[in-house]
Structure 1
Amino acid sequence: MPGKEPHYAVSFAERYGSFSDSYFNASTALHRLGELIEDVESLKGIFDKVIPDERRWAPWVGAEIVSYYGVGYVTCLEWHARSRLRDLLTFKPEAAKVEDLRVVKEKIVIEMFTVKVNLASIVAAVTSVSSFEEYMNLFSRVLSAFDPKLDAWGALKTARPGTGKPWVEVQEFDELKGLYTSRNDLVHEIGITRVGHPISRDRLDPDEAHRLGELVQRTMLAIEASISAAVPSNFPNLLDNNGFRISEADWIEREIVDLESKIGKTTTALSDGLVEQDQYWNPSKAAAAEYIAKEKLFLERASVFHNRYVEMREPLKIALLKSRHQYLKSIIEMIGEVWEVDETPSSTPS
């Protein structure tokens, strides 16, 4: 019916699939978590001055809003898991399962075509991550898609660099599970844990809220370390050791150099030795490099791309480089198909 609201999964996929909205990724989840940890640390400093330890009740009965940091932490875990599921299905469609398609009905397919969103985003939008077990099972799926011997539980037990200790201690697993339980109770129920006697209420004190935030951060970084070690270098949205996003543009530019080299060698090999190298390829390659350089200068200097709220230049630069990469890849694939030359590249930007 005209004017009817689209399916929520389609709306989600469209909202987080635009050029200007690059928030559906692991880097964003970690960034948001870092902000929450800094925030609770600042709030803790205020409470330490206003209500020092010797004047506090046990358990904590101060500002109940502190407990809601747990809601934010679980949201970051959920965002982390769902974004990596989308990355997996985008990069490796064969990793999809029949149950992933449970939501794809005729109405949704039509809406998908209308707004031009992909299936991977739809699946990520409807995937539930309502318990720590679901979070871990999803990441076990991601890791095992590249190495059947890997799972998320093992990733958390590996040694944290420079410490000699595991990323997450055995006793901390129960705390992570409990974080989901408390979150679900906090946002869905109003019982004795919310309005009963202060002794029976379930509240986070500032110290606990800060410590749990750092535990969640270690959990996410441990998962990311295992992902980086297991997946190819062109897997989407890879992070460095500190949890910062690795530049996709840098990777594509390196790939372009490799593809151009393959094309040069292939065209030379097919010239029957009449020339040292195809006389048209080098001028073409030089002209393309000059064009890309001028386009990058345009993106960097044009005032229209400088916006205090939205980063426009980086996604547009990636779009520019991807177009060149796809063209070069198509050349190699077509030459390989027609002339039966095995030079097809094995990697594709996300």
Structure 2
Amino acid sequence: MERLLEDIREVGPVLQPLLDTRISPSFFEFTAYYKVGFVTCLEWHAKSRLYDMFCYDPKTIKNDDLKQAISNEKLVSMVSEGLTIPHLLAGSNSISSRDSYIAAISRVFSTIGAQDGTLSQILDDKKDDAALGQVLEELYLGRNDLVHEIGIQTIGHPNVRDFDSFEAALSGGERLLGMMRTIEDVVTKVAPSNFPNKLGEDGFPVSEEEVLAALISSMEGKIDEAIASDTAGGELTLDDWRREIANRRSSLSAELAFIDSLGFAGGRYYDVRPFLKSTVLRQRSQYLALLSEQML
């Protein structure tokens, strides 16, 4: 979304003087298609948070989620790429209207324990007598006219076509970005610490490495306490457990240092090292979870 707004800010001042010299048509057709980009951003914002919700609490999965996934023509290709069930379910959800976007975010808010009416307050926010909910509705209607319900307002004579000015596109996009940031602010403040892909107060992603490291330390601590209090199952001694922890921490630290030293950061358009480190840590947390089931 930010990249689209940057594009408008850069292109508008260059092309607007040219429009000011025209009598007709005094618009560029491409400005209307910023709506398509905005809707795509909203669609994947909602889908990504649905994915996080499914991972955090699988009980939130509904029959309709399963039906959409099973009937989705992309099912075979998604499975062949090794995507997980939450990926499949979230990716198959249709976010093609204002109501479907609101419904998806409402499910997430309900799952993380946000207060009732929080999303309504966000959508009721007004600027220039237009509530965010109205801006969202007009966005989806305009986008559908462009790509699904093509009519005279899209392909007719220039004198009867609907169009967006650079100013209108920028204003609408900024309000939508503000809405997304407000929604993410609610997730940051309300969601539990183990809710996936939370953002920090600064709006940037919280380090998954730090979250997983804290989780691992907590899980190890609980097992340690159980062994020390003689309530753990099995015959493991406290010395044996602490020796295992020390060895594992040393090995894990060396593996993370090795990943940091790899020289292909950015070789595939982004730095994959954080993902690799999170994968290693996630495997450790999964092992501890299984171990805890047997010992606690």
**Which category of TM-score, normalised to the shorter sequence, fits these structures?**
0.7 to 0.9
The match for 2:213 among 229, 253, 272 is: 253
Q: Does 1:65 pair with 2:30?
A: yes
Q: Does 1:214 pair with 2:182?
A: no
Q: Does 1:43 pair with 2:11?
A: yes
**Contact 1:86/1:121 (<8 A) preserved:** yes
Provide closer, same or farther for how the CA distance between residues 306 and 206 of structure 1 changes in structure 2, counting only shifts above 3 A.
closer
Instruction: Please give the secondary structure, in 2, of the residue aligned with 1:279.
Output: helix
Provide closer, same or farther for how the CA distance between residues 257 and 168 of structure 1 changes in structure 2, counting only shifts above 3 A.
farther
Q: How does 1:231-310 map to 2 (within 5 A)?
A: 231-270=191-230, 278-304=238-264, 307-310=267-270
Question: How big is each residue's C-alpha offset from its partner over 1:7-52, in whole Å with a ceiling of 9 and x where there is no partner?
Answer: xxxxxxxxxxxxxxxxxxxxxxxxxx01001011101121244445
Provide closer, same or farther for how the CA distance between residues 209 and 107 of structure 1 changes in structure 2, counting only shifts above 3 A.
closer
The match for 2:48 among 52, 65, 83 is: 83
**Contact 1:296/1:317 (<8 A) preserved:** yes
**Contact 2:54/2:60 (<8 A) preserved:** yes
Instruction: Please give the secondary structure, in 2, of the residue aligned with 1:45.
Output: helix
Q: CA deviation at 1:242?
A: 4.1
The match for 1:117 among 83, 91, 100 is: 83
The match for 2:62 among 78, 97, 118 is: 97
Instruction: Please give the secondary structure, in 1, of the residue aligned with 2:239.
Output: coil
Gaps of 5+ in 2: none
TM-score by length of 2: 0.86
The match for 2:139 among 179, 185, 207 is: 179
Question: How big is each residue's C-alpha offset from its partner over 1:126-151, in whole Å with a ceiling of 9 and x where there is no partner?
Answer: 21111112111111122112337435
CA RMSD of aligned residues (A): 3.1
Q: CA deviation at 1:316?
A: 0.8
Residues in 2 aligned to 1:208 and 1:310: alpha-carbon distance in whole angstroms:
33
Q: How many residues are treated as equivalent by the alignment? A: 291
Residues in 1 aligned to 2:152 and 2:186: alpha-carbon distance in whole angstroms:
41
Q: CA deviation at 1:189?
A: 4.0
Provide closer, same or farther for how the CA distance between residues 57 and 81 of structure 1 changes in structure 2, counting only shifts above 3 A.
farther
Q: Which residue of 2 aligns with 1:224?
A: 184
**Contact 1:132/1:176 (<8 A) preserved:** yes
Question: How big is each residue's C-alpha offset from its partner over 1:247-290, in whole Å with a ceiling of 9 and x where there is no partner?
Answer: 11110111122222222222111199xxxx82223332222221
Q: CA deviation at 1:239?
A: 1.5
Q: Does 1:318 pair with 2:278?
A: yes
Letter in 1 for 2:10: S
**Percentage of matched positions with identical amino acids:** 31
**Contact 2:54/2:61 (<8 A) preserved:** yes
Bigger share in helix: 2
Provide closer, same or farther for how the CA distance between residues 146 and 189 of structure 1 changes in structure 2, counting only shifts above 3 A.
closer
Q: Which residue of 2 aligns with 1:144?
A: 110
TM-score by length of 1: 0.73
**Contact 1:193/1:202 (<8 A) preserved:** yes
**Contact 2:123/2:132 (<8 A) preserved:** no
Instruction: Please give the secondary structure, in 1, of the residue aligned with 2:168.
Output: helix
Letter in 2 for 1:264: D
The match for 1:130 among 78, 96, 102 is: 96
Residues in 1 aligned to 2:11 and 2:90: alpha-carbon distance in whole angstroms:
34
